[in-house]
Structure 1
Amino acid sequence: MSRIDTLQTFVSVVRARNFTSAADALGVTPSAVSKQISGLEERLGVRLLNRTTRSVSPTEAGQMFYQHCENILESISEAEKLVTDFDVTPRGRLRITAMSNFGRRELARMFHDFSEQYPDISFDLHISDRPLDIVKEGYDFALRIGSLEDSRLIAKPVARQNIVICASPEYLKGWGTPVTLEDLNHHRILMVTNAEFARINWLRQFEKDHGFTLSSVERKLSVNDIDLVYEACLAGMGITAIPTYIADRHLQSGELVRLFSDVEIPVRTIKVVFPQNRYLATKSRAFLDFITRYFDDAGVAASADDY
């Protein structure tokens, strides 16, 4: 009888709370189970179980030993499953939640490319800026920006989201082009206030980094929808800060003009968040590897310093 078999027997006895039920589950006799446990206690030099005529229960040492045995047996099971699944084609359904604007603009192409490579994996995608308990609600992954406050989760940085300050040519024609950051005191500003963007207050960041006050800024529009702010900027309503993945097309066409290109704006990091399980299913490992490569190929991969 190997040590692993003995550990399995001990765990079965603790779970069943008696030798007979444990023996039935293991397909052996109660006397064989009792003999294994006695031998284990003799080898360790400590009593692991309290015995009565009807049941058994772990001693304090036995409870501690039981918890470690469970972890060991679980690790062995996971190791075997990893090897078994290594060459198995990833398949199944992934449940993913993502920020609204990022999800609408970025994920369709990525999911298409992923599906070309992994045709047997399907998606349930939930778009929301509302914080979700992905463990409770059963999601495999979440795409998020911001700090991680749930110790049950792992956050893997996968992409950098660059921010640009811009305005339309029509707005700049009427209000003038700001040359210095202080010039923003004489301009109309459009602010996004939804959960995805609220933590990045670029005006406040400018004040902090450059040591001046933007007390006269006219906050012409504050709204919780970035698309509305973006359309207002295109229409000539004011100046805003926007992710490059939204603004690039109109910057290239000349419908928007980038301002303060020499000023560094804090980069936001997009993270893939997932439950802190020891074992990731083959389909989940495939997605995690793919999304990392996808943003790397796009030239916006997160660096080692991003978090």
Structure 2
Amino acid sequence: MSYLDNVRVFVRVVELGTLSAAGRDQRVTPAVASNRIKELERHMGVRLFNRTTRKLTPTEHGRVFYDGAVKILEAVNEAENAIADLSRNPKGALKITAPLGIGRRLIASGIPEFHDKYPDIEVRLRLSDHNVDILSEGVDVAFKLGILEDSNLRMRGIMNCERVVCGAPAYFEKRGIPQTPDALIADKHDCLLLRYPGSKEYFWTLQTMEGVRKLEVTGPYDSDDGDVLTQWALDGRGIINKPLFEVKAHINSGALVPILVDTPPLSVQLAAIYPHKRFQDPKVRLMIDYMAERCQRLINGMLA
């Protein structure tokens, strides 16, 4: 086994807390991850973890080794990046994430073309509407609709995305069309919400003549998948607040009808977010440059 691979597994076990999680991150089985930790312990002659049935926690020796191991891996990564810059042939794994909606529409279909251009870059894509912890999960680039909140991260804005509140004609025939933001609450409209642990969309934020309004809207059911919300809206089950490019085709066809056009939702920025230490990595720069151009082109086409 490679000593460096053993060190990588060790670092991820410390950061993720279990062999199974570290194994998935490093694409090895828990048994292989366990063997790599045991080999490190035999090599150094000390115990690196206190073991319980649920979690591994580093011993004092393990904490000291972790601090040095992180520096070793960062130095190796910087050296590989420097060589990649010189050879103009970037190599290695690149872990990226995106929400389901933009991931399916904008990101996933571009990965094969990106790999054709850079065949030595191995892309690992994870799509989820859940809030991904970029640092703890070892993500290189996250494409998000939102704002940067963590000072340990960097952000490159790609484009500003207009949002729209809309619903199906069948829903409005049954419940009426709310003419003001307050009517959403007063008339107890069925608002379809994206909810998950850490979700920011417990409120809808609309622009009014009096300024920005935060509305605590409610509905009979919600989902952690934005595309499910769109389908429910198409089925006449309620009202959604979505990026315009995601529902523009349905609006053009008449399947969804925009409402509250004089008090629209705040727009949201599509951005690439990445850890500070990744900004010198040529793989990261190439991926962001490629996806920024692609997303702008595709979104503008959807809105045409």
Fold match, TM over 0.5?
A: yes
SS at match of 2:272: strand
2-side partners of 1:110 and 1:125: how far apart? 11
Match of 1:65 in 2: none
Deviates more, 1:261-270 or 1:164-173: 261-270
Match of 1:295 in 2: 295
1-side partners of 2:112 and 2:198: how far apart? 26
2-side partners of 1:165 and 1:195: how far apart? 20
2-side partners of 1:242 and 1:284: how far apart? 28
If the length of structure 1 is used for normalisation, what is the TM-score? 0.59
Q: Which has the larger radius of gyration?
A: 1
Match of 1:255 in 2: 255
The answer on whether the counterparts of 1:99 and 1:196 sit within 8 Å (CA) in structure 2 is no
Match of 1:42 in 2: none
Which runs of no fewer than 5 residues in structure 2 stay unpaired? 1-73
If the length of structure 2 is used for normalisation, what is the TM-score? 0.59
2-side partners of 1:258 and 1:153: how far apart? 35
What is the CA deviation profile of residues 195-233 of structure 1, one whole-angstrom value per residue up to 9, with x for unaligned ones?
499424554546895699979x76333443323322221
Match of 1:194 in 2: 195
Identity within the alignment, %: 28
Deviation for aligned residue 1:174: 2.3
Q: How does 1:165-176 map to 2 (within 5 A)?
A: 165-176=165-176
Deviation for aligned residue 1:124: 0.7
Deviation for aligned residue 1:114: 2.6
Q: 1:119 to 1:254 in 2, by over 3 A?
A: farther
Q: How does 1:9-158 map to 2 (within 5 A)?
A: 85-86=85-86, 88-158=88-158
1-side partners of 2:162 and 2:172: how far apart? 23
1-side partners of 2:199 and 2:117: how far apart? 36
The answer on whether the counterparts of 2:165 and 2:258 sit within 8 Å (CA) in structure 1 is yes
Q: 1:80 to 1:152 in 2, by over 3 A?
A: same
What is the CA deviation profile of residues 42-98 of structure 1, one whole-angstrom value per residue up to 9, with x for unaligned ones?
xxxxxxxxxxxxxxxxxxxxxxxxxxxxxxxx9xxx799759725513343311122
The answer on whether the counterparts of 1:175 and 1:187 sit within 8 Å (CA) in structure 2 is no
SS at match of 1:188: coil
1-side partners of 2:212 and 2:148: how far apart? 30
2-side partners of 1:294 and 1:256: how far apart? 26
The count of residues paired between Structure 1 and Structure 2 equals 225
Which runs of no fewer than 5 residues in structure 1 stay unpaired? 1-73, 301-307
Q: 1:80 to 1:227 in 2, by over 3 A?
A: closer
Deviates more, 1:183-192 or 1:165-174: 183-192
Q: 1:224 to 1:83 in 2, by over 3 A?
A: closer
